[in-house]
Amino acid sequence: MSAPDQEYRLPNGGPSIAALPKVSLHDHLDGGLRPTTIAELAPAAGIELPEGDLGAWIAAQADSGSLVEYLKTFEITVGVMQTAEALTRVAHEFVLDLAADGVIHGEVRWAPEQHLTRGLTLDAAVEAVQQGIDDAIDDLAERGHEISIGQILCALRHTGESLAIAELALRHRENGVVAFDIAGPEIGFPAAGHRAAFDLLATEFLPVTVHAGEADGLDSIRGALLDGRALRLGHGVRLADDVSVIGRETDRTTVGLGPIATWVRDREITLELAPSSNLQTGAIAFWGTEMYDHPFDLLYQLGFRVTVNTDNRLMSATSLSRELALLSQAFDYDLNDFQVFQLNAAAAAFLPLEDRDALADRIALGFEEA
Ligand SMILES: [Zn+2]
């Protein structure tokens, strides 16, 4: 079963969610390959694949509750993305698939240092991905679908390459790279360990988002904000740890925000939430195991700038439309809520102000016509 093939609607009907204009801020290149492409690239990459339906197998591994099994799926996807041709193809298809799901602006993130095992340089890898993006944008323009795409380069928390990746991002900022991120194991590898990279990026004014508050708690979010100067948080779900109930009457619950949650909400630092992924990785384990346990709605109701994302479409067998459908089932959201999430994402896109305003106009028009 391939999720994006299905048509998603609100529980009470309405327009196809895929037809609504959407903005995707947190989507990993190595988590969004087509299973057919993996199968075609695997032999040349020397990778043996399991028998049967690859997409279903990957989704099952990712859902097994074991981080080891989950990470094995990335060994396969990253394994087939070690040549310029493969990176270009994967990036090209990635953008086409976003467009098919109604995305009008996407930011694709990946870690170049993981793609050097067959002789590529960091710069050549970034150029190969940009080639695929540019080709896809041209293809789509011919079909009348206007889309903009930015690359976010991820450094890994547990390797020592963050300064080199920050420099790489700066070298390619005129050619498709819009921001920097750190990803990888959160616990034990604080943002403070990457201060040299963050200081350079701050000096050069390149935007930063940081995966934080996913596997670890408030200290990690503090590090993303103070050491990383993050303008967005990758997930940040654990911010809900900084929200406490201070009073409860029959029809009313009063909550208090701690200093970190206050800062994030009042400064409108965007939360890149990925509901299905957050369930799979245990990021919301403190609150429960079902979608309606996700603190997404709590954060939304409290006024945080929440956005909806896929994280890894292949591993979660999902799409942006499906994530919205799941949220609407869990929290009774309607088209107005969906529009808020898309406007939030447009406002937080790593684009110049006039481009973000143009995205907001396209979203407003698309929802009006829906
Ligand atoms: Zn992520």
pTM: predicted TM-score of the whole model, two decimal places: 0.96
What rounded mean pLDDT belongs to the chain? Answer: 95
* Mean pLDDT, range 340-365, rounded to an integer: 98
CATH code of the domain occupying 17-369: 3.20.20.140
Say if residue 4's pLDDT is above 70. Answer: no
- Of the listed 113, 214, 272, 323, which one is catalytic? 214
145 Cα–ligand 1 center, Å: 26
Q: Which of 156-160, 209-213, 247-251, 346-350 has the lowest mean pLDDT?
A: 247-251
Ligand 1 center–CA 84 separation, angstroms: 23
pLDDT classification of 6: cutoffs 50, 70, 90: confident
- Could you give the CA distance from residue 114 to residue 123 in angstroms, rounded to a whole number? 13
Distance 318 CA to ligand 1 centre (A): 14
In this prediction, residue 2 has a pLDDT band, given cuts at 50, 70 and 90, of: very low
Active site residue 214: yes
For residue 20, how far is its CA from the centre of ligand 1 (angstroms)?
23
For the cut 60, the answer to whether the pLDDT of residue 1 exceeds it is no
Read off the pLDDT band of 5 (50, 70, 90).
low
In Å, how far are 237, 241, 251, 282 from 295, measured between CA atoms? 7, 10, 19, 13
Q: What distance in angstroms lies between residue 226's CA and the mean position of ligand 1's atoms?
A: 20
Kindly tell me if the per-residue pLDDT of 91 is higher than 90: yes
For 172-250, where are the E strands, in sequence order? 177-183, 209-212, 232-235, 243-249
**pLDDT of 116:** 98
Distance 29 CA to ligand 1 centre (A): 10
3-state SS of 78-147 is HHCCCCHHHHHHHHHHHHHHHHHCCEEEEEEEECHHHHCCCCCCHHHHHHHHHHHHHHHHHHHHHCCCCC
Residue 282: pLDDT above 90?
no
Partner residues linked to 13 by β-bridges: 10
Distance 369 CA to ligand 1 centre (A): 32
Return the residue matching tokens 């048509």. Answer: 7
Measured in Å, residue 211 CA sits from the centre of ligand 1 at 6
Edge to edge, what strands does the sheet with 232-235 contain? 209-212, 232-235, 270-273, 306-308
User: Domain residues of the chain, as ranges?
Assistant: 17-369
Tokens of 104: 């009008």
